[in-house]
Amino acid sequence: MSVIDELIANNGGFAASLPDRHLNVQPSRRLAIVTCMDSRLDVFAALGLGDGEAHVLRNAGGVITDDVIRSLAVSQRRLGTREVMLIHHTDCGMEKLTDDGFRTELMETTGVAPAFAIESFSDVDADVRQSIQRVRRSPFLPHRDLVRGFVYDVDSHRLREVDADA
C-alpha cells in the first residue's frame, strides 16, 4: 500500500467522524495566513484555528510571490479577508540554498532554466520584512494596512513578531 493509499483510508475515517455541516467559503475570522510548506508547521494547531476560520497559503519559504498576491487578491476581493499574517520559521530549507546554486542545479538536471524565482534568503527577519512590504505595496490588495509578520521557532513552537520597520 502506498502512502497516498494510506492517506485515502485515513480520510474515510476522518470524514465519517465529522458531523454533517457546510462551512461558509468566507473565512469566519476574515484572515489570510501565508506560511512555509515545512511539514513541522501545524498552523491550525499552533494558532488555535478551526476549520473555516482562515485561508492558509503555503509555499517554500512562505515568501510573497506573484502567485501568493494572486491568491490574496481573491481572498480579499471575493472571500472577505481583511488581515494578513505572515509566518516564516527557524531552520528553513530556503536558508540552506542560494538562488544561483539551485537555479544551476535545476538547469543541469533538466536542461531548462526555471521561469520562476527561487527566493532563497539568509536572514529570516529580513525576509519577513520584505514579505510585509510586498503585501503593503501591492495595488491588487485593497486591505494592506493589517499585515503583520512573525517567525515561528520550530523547537519552542512560539511565534516572535518581526518589526516591519526595523
* 79-117 confidence digits (pLDDT tens): 999 999 999 999 999 999 999 999 999 999 999 999 999
Alpha-carbon distance of 93 to 96, in angstroms, equals 5
Residue-level pLDDT at 18: 85
pTM of the predicted structure, to 2 decimals = 0.93
Give, in order, the Cα–Cα distances in Å from 104 to each of 63, 96, 120, 122: 21, 15, 14, 18
Query: Which range has the worst mean pLDDT, 16-20, 60-64, 93-97?
Result: 16-20
Residue 166 pLDDT more than 90? no
Q: Give domain status of residue 1, yes or no.
A: no
Range of 39's domain?
24-162
Identify whether 18 is part of a domain.
no
pLDDT band, residue 5 (cuts 50/70/90)? very high
Q: Is residue 128 part of a domain?
A: yes
CATH code, 124: 3.40.1050.10
